[in-house]
Amino acid sequence: MELETQFMPFTHILFDLDGTLTNPRLGIGNSLKYALRQMQIDGYSDEILEKFVGPPLQDGFKNLFGLNERNTTLAVEHFRTYFGEKGLYENEPYAGISELLEELHLSGKRIYIVTSKLEKYAKMIIRHFEFDRYIDDIQGAEATGKHSGKGQLISELMERNRIPSSDLVVMIGDTYYDMIGANENEISSVAVCYGFGTLESLNACNPNYMVETVDELTELLLGLIVGVGDIFGDDTRHPAEKSVLLVENGQAQHGKGYDQDRSKGDDHFQGKAFIDNSQHTFLS
């Protein structure tokens, strides 16, 4: 059986910043090391950086280093001292992101950024990379760290821009904070697997779509068809090898059959869509 379907024509696209549009690994890492030196904290591993991307800074220092309120405030101040002077520029867009933003802008999409990063730094970054020419609005965190949960940030941006909850509104991010925020606001979600979030944590949030590269994200957002083939035929290949089958709200559609939980042994996708680059056509 062959099916053809078109991906959702999103009208309002909300992007996370770190790990989605840009790779801040060097700047955040150096800022974190500077802050920890000032706090005389050592003996940590470099892998701890991964856990600092996504949640508010305050949560990272409290939960990962057990700092009290006073020391958390001091550590955040030290972090921002380095980051504000050097760290925010030790950063680079992922390849293809600038072109994607331009294409979305030219196609008439409304583009927003929602980030747990301090808003003034986020604005400096998007101006530095000239993303501001494409962005309609940005919502970042307050300096105090209050009201910085991703769900609340999304809600504030949507309310300010009078965007109603809809499947045509989508949050795109690399961590489960982004996926949870989308669910809380009853909008669609796209998980990108090239950032800082783990595939396991992203899968647990059941995002509507998952992509592995910026090219795949571009295909999804610009409405390409991916993969046409026998969905329920006598195909004994592992789901990860098939060029078809994605399930969106219970409907079989096109995409790359893919399941990280190999123990299930069948085509189990739970509403997630993986993009397959092996073949694609445009709908007329």
Residues classed as catalytic: 16
For residues 67 and 51, the answer to whether their CB atoms sit within 8 Å is: no
Supply φ then ψ for residue 111, to 5 degrees.
-120, 135
- CA 238, CA 259: separation in Å to the nearest integer? 9
With CA atoms as reference, report the closest residue to 192 among 210, 176, 169. Answer: 210
- CA 199, CA 195: separation in Å to the nearest integer? 10
> How do strand 251-254 and strand 244-248 relate by DSSP bridges?
antiparallel
Burial status of residue 251 (CB atoms within 10 A of its CB: 0-12, 13-18, 19 or more): exposed
With CA atoms as reference, report the closest residue to 15 among 246, 276, 195. Answer: 195
DSSP 8-state assignment for residue 260: S
Number of Cβ within a 10 Å radius of residue 205: 19
Tokens for 246, please give them. 């994605």
DSSP 8-state assignment for residue 17: S
Amino acid found at 66:
G
With CA atoms as reference, report the closest residue to 32 among 82, 88, 107. Answer: 82
Supply φ then ψ for residue 87, to 5 degrees.
-60, -35
- CA 122, CA 101: separation in Å to the nearest integer? 16
In angstroms, the Cα distances linking 127 to 14, 60, 70, 193 are 17, 27, 33, 25
